[in-house]
Structure 1
Amino acid sequence: MTETGQPALNYVSKTDMVVALIRELIITGELAAGKQLRQRDLAARFHVSQTPVREAMRRLESEGLVVGDAHRGFTVVEADSGSTEENFQIRAALESLGAGLAAAKIDEAGIARLTELNERMRGLAEQDPLYSELNREFHFTIYEYAHSPLLLSLMRLMWQALHGGPRVTRSHAESIGQHELIVDALRRGDADDARKATYEHIMGAIPLD
């Protein structure tokens, strides 16, 4: 409470607002990796002057989301691909955590949605481009039921950095079978089994050199 008896309000500066907005656009992929960010355009989009946009760019650069260049200005960072195994380990750790959290929170509608997505994937040919879209929805449905905004943001950022999601070499049938094990664990509310099945699903898909 303030001295006048009124409830205190959390003040958010224009810079804080712009940082949050641009960060979300990067995480969701609306601002793609490598995209040049024009401060004048962003200022017009967010109805602010260029000063908070310029300050926001510096803040986002310190977070590693954008990179500044004396000639090009700021661009959305293009993630270092790193080693394939390291990328899979990071994804496995985060997604197995999400599955464990979701096991205690997912409802019948969520289980039904996961089952439906898996069955739709089962009916697709190996090269059907719809498969990757349904697969993404399957995994993000689990993230959403974890009810962790931070985890959801991290996974959006990771899939965006991997340019549309992880690339695997196993067959659709094998992935669908592993999805069934994950769904079964979630249906039973078994967090340990959900984590284990998810971790094995991801780490078992590392392409061979």
Structure 2
Amino acid sequence: MTEPTTLNYVSKTDMVVALIRELIITGELPAGKQLRQRDLAARFHVSQTPVREAMRRLESEGLVVGDAHRGFTVVEADSGSTEENFRIRAALEALGAELAVPRIDEAGIQKLTDLNEQMRKLAEEDQCYPELNREFHFTLYEYAHSPLLVSIMRLLWQALRGGPRVTRTHAESVEEHAMIIDALRRRDAEAAAKATYNHIMGTTPLD
């Protein structure tokens, strides 16, 4: 994983929050993992102060949990059944798409389009696809302008072990992404929500 520099962030705490959040979402820091502030400070080349502040912020997001004796650990989400997680994800992401319609700008639509075109060019087993797919969906979440929704989706993707794995082909997924983008471009909130919901639920999840 390429770690960005502090120049990309308002503060060192912002940087550490973003890096740890990414490691949790991708599963590199798995559920139940104890987070040692000294080790993280050395890894990110910062003092322990921004790491400590980052832990508190991530705890407020529900990604880590603090304990007086053990310190901070990555939260162990109750994953439930895979089907249940897909239903929750479909409902929340459809809401995110609906909220994004009046808020997304042309730059956002273009970013989604570019990501989708990158995915379109990949071979079926290309290992770059999951990361591009995750970026596509989280870009959509961000344009909902709902920090709570984004935090919940991070937890849900963590419960799905870094994101959903499905039997649908990449080509099919790309075409469904295109339908979502088209609805966003037309400012059709109902169509965006429906296309997004069908995109999540119109496939068979893998356990």
Rounded to whole Å, the distance in 2 between the matches of 1:40 and 1:180 is 45
Rounded to whole Å, the distance in 2 between the matches of 1:123 and 1:64 is 34
1:93-138 per-residue CA deviation (whole Å, 9 max, x = no partner) reads 1111110011111111111111111111111111101011111111
Rounded to whole Å, the distance in 2 between the matches of 1:37 and 1:66 is 10
Query: Displacement of 1:79 after TM fit?
Result: 2.3
Matches within 5 A, 1:40-79: 45-46=48-49, 65-66=64-65, 75-79=73-77
- The equivalent residue for 1:32 is 29
SS in 1 for 2:77: coil
Give the AA of the match of 1:128: D
Count of residue correspondences: 183
* Higher alpha-carbon Rg: 1
- The equivalent residue for 1:15 is none
- The equivalent residue for 1:127 is 125
- The equivalent residue for 1:144 is 142
RMSD (CA atoms): 3.5
- The equivalent residue for 2:202 is 204
- TM-score (ref. length: structure 1): 0.71
Query: Displacement of 1:183 after TM fit?
Result: 0.5
Change (3 A) 1:188 1:162: same
- TM-score (ref. length: structure 2): 0.72
Give the AA of the match of 2:202: G
Identity rate, percent: 66
Rounded to whole Å, the distance in 2 between the matches of 1:41 and 1:116 is 37
Give the AA of the match of 1:104: P
Query: Displacement of 1:156 after TM fit?
Result: 2.0
Rounded to whole Å, the distance in 2 between the matches of 1:80 and 1:22 is 26
Rounded to whole Å, the distance in 2 between the matches of 1:200 and 1:144 is 20
Query: Displacement of 1:166 after TM fit?
Result: 0.9
* Unaligned stretches of 5+ residues in structure 1: 1-20
Report if the CA contact (8 A) 1:36-1:76 is conserved: yes
Report if the CA contact (8 A) 1:181-1:197 is conserved: yes
Change (3 A) 1:168 1:208: closer
Rounded to whole Å, the distance in 2 between the matches of 1:205 and 1:126 is 16
